[in-house]
Every structure is written in structure tokens, then in C-alpha cells.
Amino acid sequence: MSTEKSMSKEEYLFLLKDFYKDLNLPYKYQDRNENHFRLERKCLPGISLNFVEFLVPYNLRYLNPDHEPIFSIGFMIQGQLDYIIHQRKYSFNTGQNNIIVVPNEDRPSLLFKAHTFYSYRSCIFEREYLEHLFSRYPEKLKALYSNYQNGKYSTLKPDNLINTSEIQFIIQQIDGEFAKPQPDDLYLEAKILELLSLQIQSFTCENFAALNLKACDRDKIREAEFLLTKDLNQAYTIEQLSREVGLNTKKLKMGFKKIFGNTIHVHLLERKMKRACHLLLKSDLNIAEVGLECGYDNASHFSTAFKKQFGVRPLDFRRGKL
């Protein structure tokens, strides 16, 4: 029997309430029949890591309980999460992320649509940990930390940032570690800080690129990067990307290099090679299977590309013969 048939709307809301009532306590609930309702939290020193995935047959509106001020980084993997603060509606869409500051007097309402799959990750920083971070990197966190101290709702970017290939890759690494019976807390903390750094870097680069690019063009270029890297087996030509996002090829190529620092081809190659390194070290896939995961139908072509990039064959890299 599936959870979708056996649980009422009130029971789903109760689970959400139970999950959100204390953000500093570990939590785990997973439906073992259909695996379409999972709420899990792992608490590291000063940081809570939240894993949310579910699909329910009801429209849900959940009002968050009273809480301490929240400084969080959030990443929408799939779905559209709407939330209301100060009678204004905000949205998180598939492939977007942001840094969010929510004062303790604000109680956001979360809106979930029926029959929509949601996959979301967030990390919430405790006050002391955040203070320590700010003391070391004041210029990077100045505006958001000031709003956190002054009880002002704010985000890093009003219309959200795009999950770049680097961000997607790190989330995959976190998910893999999170799933282990005994996750490495130090590894998870390092990856969370890497995500925070990439968000700030992405926002800074976007602002720099904004000097010569319209906001709508920047969004289209980031959408192109998301399409290019979300599935390495899906090969896009520049012309296809151009049509998908509605931007001419010249503007796409020039804008892409301005925002990401590399041509489209080099950016994709680096993403493939990074994925290959991870699979070679962390999986039991053979060389041909690793190549397939990285978009290479031919194992020989994969080995040639890998050796050109790193100077060693994939098998030697796996064996540590660098």
C-alpha cells in the first residue's frame, strides 16, 4: 500500500510540523513503500543539513512555527516551492538556489502543489557558527549578516541564482555522503562551505557581467549552462542551446565566457572530467561505464579525452599512478 493512499492531508501536515519544529535536532522519516516522502536532517557542529523529497496528492499550505533567526542556503533540485512572507509570494524553481535570511518574528507559509515532486536541500547556520564565519570573511557576508543581526528578511538575489554545474556536482557529493551509514561530518561541512562560497562567487560574477549584459540575457545564459550540464548524456550543440533559451549564438557564446570564464566547449569538458574523476575514485563502474556516465559512447574516445586533460589514462588515475 502506498503512502499516497494511506495518509491523510492532516497527517502530511503533522509530519512537516514535526520536521520543522526544531531545526537543530536530527530527524528522519522515510516512507518505505514508495520512497516518495522523505524528510531528513543531519546536525553538524553549527550547521543543520536538511534533505526534503516528497510527492503528495494534496495541496498543502504549511505555516512555519516560531523560530530563531534563520540564515540558510537552499537549493531546489526539482519542483516549484512557493512561500509567502509579509503577504508577498516568492518562488523557488527547479535548478535555482539562494541565501535566505528570515527574522524570528517572520513565519513564512510554504505552499506545496498536489502531485508535484519536490526535491530540496538546505543548510541552516547557527548563530555562533555564523558569527565565526563573519569574523573571518566580513566583506563576503557583510550585507546578509547585517540583515540577520537587524531582523530583516533578505536574500542574496531577489530572483534566485541558477544551480551551476559545480553546485550540482557538490550536491551529488553531499547526497552520496549523506546516504552512508556513518557520514563524514568534516567532509559534509567542507562541501557546505564550498556551496556557500560558490553562491557568493556566482552572485559577484553575475554582478560584474551585468555591466554589459541585460538581466534577461544573463538568465538565459545561466539557463543554457543548466541545460548543458544537468545530464551529460544529453548532447547539445550551440545552435540547439541558442534555440532552447531564445538567445542568438553570438550573444550566447560571448555572454557564456563572460559569466563562466570559459567557452561553452571547455566548460562542458571540465564538467565531464570532474564527473569522471569522481566516479573513478568513488564508484565500482568500469572505464567504459564511467565514460558513458560522462557522455562518451566510445570508451577509447573517453580515455583519449581524459589523458589529454590530465596526462594519464583513466585506469592509471584510478590506481593512483599520477
- Domain layout of the chain by residue ranges: 3-162, 214-319
Which of 285, 55, 275 minimizes the C-alpha distance to 168? 275
| DSSP H or E stretch at residue 102 | strand 96-102
Res 25 pLDDT > 50:
yes
Tell me how crowded residue 155 is: count the other CB atoms within 10 A of its CB: 17
Residue 180 is predicted with a pLDDT of 86
| 0.75 exceeded by pTM | no
Lowest mean per-residue pLDDT among 129-133, 180-184, 214-218, 266-270 = 214-218
Q: CA-to-CA distance for 200 and 141, rounded, in angstroms?
A: 9
Sole residue written with cell 549552462? 225
Q: What's the pLDDT tens digit per position in 232-255? A: 888 899 999 999 999 999 889 988
Res 317 pLDDT > 90:
no
Q: CA-to-CA distance for 302 and 140, rounded, in angstroms?
A: 39
Confidence of residue 3 (pLDDT cuts 50, 70, 90): very low
Task: Give the CATH superfamily of 3-162.
Answer: Jelly Rolls (2.60.120.10)
How far from each other are the two terminal CA atoms of the chain, in whole angstroms? 52
All three cell numbers of 84: 509567502
Amino acid at 207: N
Task: Give the CATH superfamily of 214-319.
Answer: Homeodomain-like (1.10.10.60)
All three cell numbers of 314: 583513466
Compute CA 34 distance to the chain's CA centroid, rounded to the nearest angstrom: 24
